[in-house]
Amino acid sequence: MSKPRPISGFPEWTPAETLAEQTFLRKAVAVYESYGYTPLDTPAVELVQTLSAKGGVDKEIYALERLKEESRSDKPAELGLRFDLTVPLARYVALHYGSLNFPFKRYQIGKVWRGERPQEGRFREFYQADIDVIAEGNLPIHFDAEMPRVILEIFRRQKIKARVRLNNRKLLTSVYGELAIPQEKLGDVLREADKLEKVGAKALRGSLLEIGLSEQTSERVLTLADTRGSFEEIKSKLQTLDLVTANTEPGLAELESVARDLSDISSEEWSIDLGIVRGLDYYTGTIYETNLVDYPSIGSICSGGRYDDLASGFINKSLPGVGISIGVSRLISYLFKENALPVDRQCPSEILIMLPSEEKRGLCNEIAGRLREKGFNTEIYHQEQNMKKQLRYADRKGIPYMLFPFKYSSESPIVEVKNLASGEQVECPLDEWIRGGGH
Amino acid sequence: MSKPRPISGFPEWTPAETLAEQTFLRKAVAVYESYGYTPLDTPAVELVQTLSAKGGVDKEIYALERLKEESRSDKPAELGLRFDLTVPLARYVALHYGSLNFPFKRYQIGKVWRGERPQEGRFREFYQADIDVIAEGNLPIHFDAEMPRVILEIFRRQKIKARVRLNNRKLLTSVYGELAIPQEKLGDVLREADKLEKVGAKALRGSLLEIGLSEQTSERVLTLADTRGSFEEIKSKLQTLDLVTANTEPGLAELESVARDLSDISSEEWSIDLGIVRGLDYYTGTIYETNLVDYPSIGSICSGGRYDDLASGFINKSLPGVGISIGVSRLISYLFKENALPVDRQCPSEILIMLPSEEKRGLCNEIAGRLREKGFNTEIYHQEQNMKKQLRYADRKGIPYMLFPFKYSSESPIVEVKNLASGEQVECPLDEWIRGGGH
The residue ranges of chain A whose pLDDT is under 70 are 1, 56-59, 69-74, 120, 280-281, 439
Total count of domains within chain A: 2
The verdict on A363 and A294 lying in the same domain is no
| Mutant choice from B12, B49, B314 vs A, greatest count of A C-beta within 10 A | B12
In this prediction, residue B68 carries a pLDDT of 74
Asked, for residue B286, whether it belongs to a domain, the answer is yes
Q: Which residue of B has its CA nearest to A311?
A: B1
- For residues A428 and B108, what is the distance between their CA atoms, to the nearest angstrom? 36
N-terminal to C-terminal alpha carbon distance within chain B: 50
User: Of the candidates B149, B398, B347, which has an alpha carbon nearest to the alpha carbon of residue A39?
Assistant: B347
- For residues A406 and A431, what is the distance between their CA atoms, to the nearest angstrom? 16
N-terminal to C-terminal alpha carbon distance within chain A: 50
Smallest CA–CA distance, residue A361 to chain B, in Å, is 7
The verdict on A319 and A420 lying in the same domain is no
Task: Assess contact for A225 and A274: CB atoms under 8 A.
Answer: yes
Cβ atoms within 10 Å of B417's Cβ, excluding its own: 20
SS3 state of residue A45: strand
Task: Assess contact for B359 and B389: CB atoms under 8 A.
Answer: no
Tell me the C-alpha to C-alpha distance, in Å, between residue A62 and each of A428, B85, B187, B280: 59, 21, 41, 35
The verdict on A196 and A297 lying in the same domain is yes
Asked, for residue B182, whether it belongs to a domain, the answer is yes
Contacts of B372 in chain A (CB under 8 A): 34-35, 153
In this prediction, residue B56 carries a pLDDT of 62
User: Of the candidates B430, B418, B408, which has an alpha carbon nearest to the alpha carbon of residue B364?
Assistant: B408
- Count Cα neighbours of A364 within 13 Å in the Cβ-side half-sphere: 27
Contacts of B99 in chain A (CB under 8 A): 14
- For residues A166 and A175, what is the distance between their CA atoms, to the nearest angstrom? 16
Q: What does the radius of gyration of chain B's CA atoms come to, in whole angstroms?
A: 28
Residue B365 sits at the chain A interface (C-beta within 8 Å)? yes
Instruction: Show which of B337, B370, B405 is a domain's final residue.
Output: B337
Q: Chain B, 370-389: which have a CB under 8 Å from a chain A CB?
A: 372, 375-380, 382-383
Minimum-distance CB partner of B12 among A43, A375, A377: A43
Task: Assess contact for A370 and A51: CB atoms under 8 A.
Answer: no
Interior CA angle at A393 toward A389 and A394, to 5°? 120
The verdict on B90 and B174 lying in the same domain is yes
Residues A274-312: tens digit of each pLDDT: 999 887 568 999 999 999 999 999 999 999 999 988 888
The verdict on B288 and B366 lying in the same domain is no
Instruction: Show which of A337, A367, A401 is a domain's final residue.
Output: A337
In this prediction, residue A364 carries a pLDDT of 97
Instruction: Quickly list DSSP for A125-187.
Output: EEEEEEEEEE-SS---THHHHHHHHHHHHHHHHTT--EEEEEEEHHHHHHHHHHTT--HHHHH
Residues A170-192: tens digit of each pLDDT: 999 999 989 988 888 888 898 88
Chain-chain contact of B316 with A376 (C-beta, under 8 angstroms) = no
SS3 state of residue B235: helix
Tell me the C-alpha to C-alpha distance, in Å, between residue B307 and each of A407, B164, B188, B282: 37, 19, 21, 6
SS3 state of residue B109: strand
Run of H or E including B156 = helix B142-157
Asked, for residue B19, whether it belongs to a domain, the answer is yes
Domain at B155, CATH number:
3.30.930.10
- For residues A125 and A108, what is the distance between their CA atoms, to the nearest angstrom? 16
- For residues A421 and A434, what is the distance between their CA atoms, to the nearest angstrom? 19
Domain at A398, CATH number:
3.40.50.800
In this prediction, residue B184 carries a pLDDT of 87
Asked, for residue A245, whether it belongs to a domain, the answer is yes
Run of H or E including B373 = helix B361-373
Give the alpha-carbon dihedral of A306, A311, A313, A317, to 10 degrees.
-110
Task: Assess contact for A353 and A382: CB atoms under 8 A.
Answer: no
The verdict on B239 and B173 lying in the same domain is yes
The verdict on A253 and A126 lying in the same domain is yes
SS3 state of residue B413: coil
In this prediction, residue A439 carries a pLDDT of 61
Instruction: Quickly list DSSP for B287-332.
Output: EEEEEETT-GGG--SEEEEEES-SSTTT-SS---EEEEEEEHHHHH
Write the ipTM: 0.94
Cβ atoms within 10 Å of B76's Cβ, excluding its own: 10
Ramachandran class of B122: left when φ > 0, alpha when ψ lies in -120 to 50, beta otherwise: beta
Minimum-distance CB partner of B397 among A7, A101, A379: A101
Asked, for residue B207, whether it belongs to a domain, the answer is no
Strands A351-353 and A321-326: unpaired
- For residues A90 and A97, what is the distance between their CA atoms, to the nearest angstrom? 10
Residue A12 sits at the chain B interface (C-beta within 8 Å)? yes
Residue A260: partners with Cβ closer than 8 Å, 6 or more residues away: A231, B361
- For residues A311 and B62, what is the distance between their CA atoms, to the nearest angstrom? 29
Q: At what angle do helices B201-211 and B183-193 cross, to 10 degrees?
A: 160
**Domain that includes residue B409, residue range:** 351-435
The residue ranges of chain B whose pLDDT is under 70 are 1, 56-59, 69-74, 120, 280-281, 439
The verdict on B331 and B357 lying in the same domain is no
Task: Assess contact for A130 and A334: CB atoms under 8 A.
Answer: no
Minimum-distance CB partner of B10 among A45, A95, A113: A45
The verdict on B109 and B252 lying in the same domain is yes
Number of H helices, E strands in chain A: 15, 17
Tell me the C-alpha to C-alpha distance, in Å, between residue A405 and each of A360, B47, B116, B201, B281: 9, 48, 52, 50, 41
Residue B401 phi, psi (nearest 5): -125, 145
The verdict on A56 and A136 lying in the same domain is yes
Q: At what angle do helices A215-225 and A169-178 cross, to 10 degrees?
A: 160
The verdict on B149 and B278 lying in the same domain is yes
- For residues A341 and A270, what is the distance between their CA atoms, to the nearest angstrom? 22
Asked, for residue B211, whether it belongs to a domain, the answer is no
Residue A138 phi, psi (nearest 5): -110, 130
In this prediction, residue A74 carries a pLDDT of 61
Asked, for residue A8, whether it belongs to a domain, the answer is no
Instruction: Show which of A302, A337, A372 is a domain's final residue.
Output: A337
Give the alpha-carbon dihedral of B358, B360, B366, B372, to 10 degrees.
-60
Residue B392 sits at the chain A interface (C-beta within 8 Å)? no
The verdict on B134 and B101 lying in the same domain is yes
- For residues B1 and A311, what is the distance between their CA atoms, to the nearest angstrom? 10
Task: Assess contact for B37 and B107: CB atoms under 8 A.
Answer: yes
Asked, for residue B343, whether it belongs to a domain, the answer is no
A vs B, Cβ pairs < 8 A, gives 269
Cβ atoms within 10 Å of B396's Cβ, excluding its own: 12
User: Of the candidates A406, A415, A407, which has an alpha carbon nearest to the alpha carbon of residue A436?
Assistant: A415
Chain-chain contact of B365 with A261 (C-beta, under 8 angstroms) = yes
Q: At what angle do helices A169-178 and A249-261 cross, to 10 degrees?
A: 140
Q: Which residue of A has its CA nearest to B371?
A: A34
